């Protein structure tokens, strides 16, 4: 990385090499070890420009008043520290999520924009202070798939959703659910269902693609645009990060076949819009934060009485998703699910947002012939299909 001297004289207004690394944004990935994603000067500039345009920060009624409900550490705040500054907007910062305070600022400070995960918006819409605002507020929604009901609730309060999708490896948002005028005549349910799709590529990116997964690594074949065939979302173009810091093998896998692999499974609709159905690598998105099931499993087996652990997501009305753990205990030991939860909260060192709210002790975990835990069976158990 290029560095300057101390003081103002060492600050360069323009990088000598626009493809040099500007920052490292860390992501949980699917293991306990975070990966450092290399953000370049050029990529950050283009991602910032895209967010200015797609989130409407170049506000038509004066300068943007942006409320920081999104943590700045999360994928560099999706580049909004730069985007809001670029349009000479005002940053309103919060030390924590405080729904009465958010509503006070929306009403008294005439906030024009904020970004938030669906879970934050759900709790905001259901706060006792919630009431329809006199002026529209643009709310960029990302981090987990939103529900059509949420978009309906937001719109009723004059919180107008800008639905985007992306990942740390794409500098945050890279697609947007573009609202089409013909949707105005659709039944409300159908309209909000279309708004909840992940949409099309940003103005600063090339179109997102969905490719077949049951092919050899590096083989790139698009799925049909029929809204039925499931594949993996991949990206190419301007706002794909350079790779993982000091991890060439992970970078090679990320860009296998010359495209950036998201690991998210989706369908491709006839109009070109993409729609996520599931996460290929069992990532659990709870309250806008990524939880690796593999990482959580490795932490749970640190309990002295736990032999094995399998973690899957379950729906949650507040957080979108939350982890549920199935565990087996060591021979001669006895353990209750509540004991595990208490240990995880108070002793284990597991981050609070990762602690499972439900732990079920079972005699045996379902496994493949190679010994891999069958997550699909665990999901069936969550639905109540397990025989007594």
Domain spans of the chain, in order of start = 21-278, 282-383
Note the pLDDT of residue 299.
84
Give the lowest-confidence range in 193-207, 226-240, 367-381: 367-381
Note the pLDDT of residue 238.
87
pLDDT band at 31 (very low <50, low <70, confident <90, very high): very low
Residue 168 structure tokens: 């740390």
Residue 292 structure tokens: 């690796």
* Sign, Cα dihedral of 211, 212, 216, 221: negative
pLDDT exceeds 60 at position 300: yes
Q: What percent of the chain has pLDDT over 70?
A: 90
pLDDT band at 387 (very low <50, low <70, confident <90, very high): low
Mark 218-244 as b/e (b = at least 16 C-beta within 10 Å).
eeeeebebeeeeebbbbbbbbbbbbbb
- Per-residue pLDDT, averaged over 271-297, amounts to 79
The residues, any chain, with a CB within 8 Å of residue 89's CB and separated by 6 or more, are 57, 59, 63, 64, 65, 66, 113
pLDDT exceeds 80 at position 388: no
pLDDT exceeds 80 at position 208: yes
- Contact of 315 with 288, CB cutoff 8 Å: no
Q: What percent of the chain has pLDDT over 90?
A: 57
Distance (Å, whole) CA 288 – CA 292: 13
Class of domain 282-383: alpha beta
User: Largest Cα–Cα distance of the chain, in whole Å?
Assistant: 72
pLDDT, greater one: 144 or 364 = 364
What is 209-253 written as a DSSP string?
Answer: EEE-SSS-TT---BPPSSS-SEEEEEE-STT----BTT-HHHHHH
pLDDT exceeds 80 at position 18: yes
pLDDT, greater one: 109 or 385 = 109
- Per-residue pLDDT, averaged over 240-265, amounts to 94
Note the pLDDT of residue 370.
38
- Contact of 264 with 168, CB cutoff 8 Å: no
Average pLDDT, the chain: 88
**Separate counts of helices (H) and strands (E) for the chain:** 10, 18
- Per-residue pLDDT, averaged over 227-239, amounts to 92
pLDDT, greater one: 207 or 385 = 207
pLDDT band at 279 (very low <50, low <70, confident <90, very high): low
- Per-residue pLDDT, averaged over 83-110, amounts to 96
- Per-residue pLDDT, averaged over 206-211, amounts to 95
Distance (Å, whole) CA 74 – CA 28: 11
Note the pLDDT of residue 28.
54
pLDDT band at 56 (very low <50, low <70, confident <90, very high): very high
pLDDT band at 37 (very low <50, low <70, confident <90, very high): very high
pLDDT exceeds 90 at position 343: yes
Note the pLDDT of residue 360.
96
Distance (Å, whole) CA 366 – CA 82: 48
User: Which of the following CATH numbers is that of domain 21-278: 3.40.50.2300, 3.65.10.10, 3.40.50.12780, 3.30.1300.10?
Assistant: 3.40.50.12780
If DSSP codes are grouped into helix, strand and coil, which group holds residue 156?
Answer: helix
pLDDT, greater one: 35 or 61 = 35
Mark 54-66 as b/e (b = at least 16 C-beta within 10 Å).
bbbbeeeeeebbb
Distance (Å, whole) CA 298 – CA 32: 8
pLDDT exceeds 80 at position 134: yes
Residue 39 structure tokens: 């953000």
- Per-residue pLDDT, averaged over 254-273, amounts to 93
- Contact of 36 with 245, CB cutoff 8 Å: yes
pLDDT band at 368 (very low <50, low <70, confident <90, very high): low
pLDDT exceeds 60 at position 5: no
Distance (Å, whole) CA 342 – CA 100: 30
pLDDT, greater one: 216 or 171 = 171
Note the pLDDT of residue 111.
97
pLDDT band at 9 (very low <50, low <70, confident <90, very high): low
Distance (Å, whole) CA 151 – CA 186: 15
- Contact of 144 with 175, CB cutoff 8 Å: no
pLDDT band at 276 (very low <50, low <70, confident <90, very high): confident
């Amino acid at each position: 990385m290029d560095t300057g001297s101390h003081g103002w004289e060492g600050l360069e207004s323009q990088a000598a090499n626009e493809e040099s690394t500007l920052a490292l944004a860390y992501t949980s990935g699917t293991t306990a070890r975070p990966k450092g994603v290399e953000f370049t000067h050029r990529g950050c500039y283009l991602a910032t420009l895209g967010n200015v345009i797609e989130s409407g920060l170049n506000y038509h009624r004066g300068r943007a008043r942006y409320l920081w409900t999104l943590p700045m550490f999360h994928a560099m705040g999706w580049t909004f520290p730069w985007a809001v500054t670029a349009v000479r907007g005002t940053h309103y910062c919060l030390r924590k999520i405080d729904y009465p305070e958010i509503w006070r600022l929306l009403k008294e400070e005439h906030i024009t924009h904020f970004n938030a995960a669906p879970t934050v918006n759900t709790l905001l819409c259901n706060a006792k202070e919630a009431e329809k605002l006199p002026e529209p507020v643009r709310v960029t929604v990302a981090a987990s798939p939103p529900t059509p009901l949420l978009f309906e609730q937001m719109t009723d309060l004059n919180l107008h959703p800008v639905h985007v999708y992306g990942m740390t490896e794409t500098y945050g948002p890279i697609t947007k659910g573009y609202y089409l005028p013909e949707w105005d005549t659709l039944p409300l349910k159908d309209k909000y269902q279309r708004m909840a799709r992940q949409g099309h590529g940003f103005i600063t990116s090339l179109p997102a693609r969905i490719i077949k997964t049951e092919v050899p690594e590096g083989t790139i074949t698009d799925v049909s645009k029929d809204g039925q065939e499931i594949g993996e979302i991949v990206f190419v173009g301007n706002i794909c990060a350079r790779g993982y810091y000091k991890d060439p093998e992970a970078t090679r896998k990320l860009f296998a076949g010359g495209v950036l692999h998201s690991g998210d499974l989706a369908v491709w609709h006839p109009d070109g819009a993409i729609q996520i159905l599931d996460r290929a690598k069992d990532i659990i998105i709870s309250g806008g934060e990524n939880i690796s099931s593999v990482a959580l499993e490795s932490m749970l087996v640190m309990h002295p009485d736990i032999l094995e652990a399998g973690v899957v997501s379950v729906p949650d009305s507040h957080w979108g998703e939350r982890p549920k753990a199935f565990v087996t205990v060591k021979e001669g030991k006895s353990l209750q699910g509540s004991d595990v939860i208490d240990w995880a909260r108070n002793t284990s060192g597991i981050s609070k947002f990762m602690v499972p709210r439900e732990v079920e002790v079972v005699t045996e975990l379902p496994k493949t012939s190679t010994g891999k835990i069958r997550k699909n069976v665990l999901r069936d158990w969550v639905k109540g299909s397990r025989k007594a």
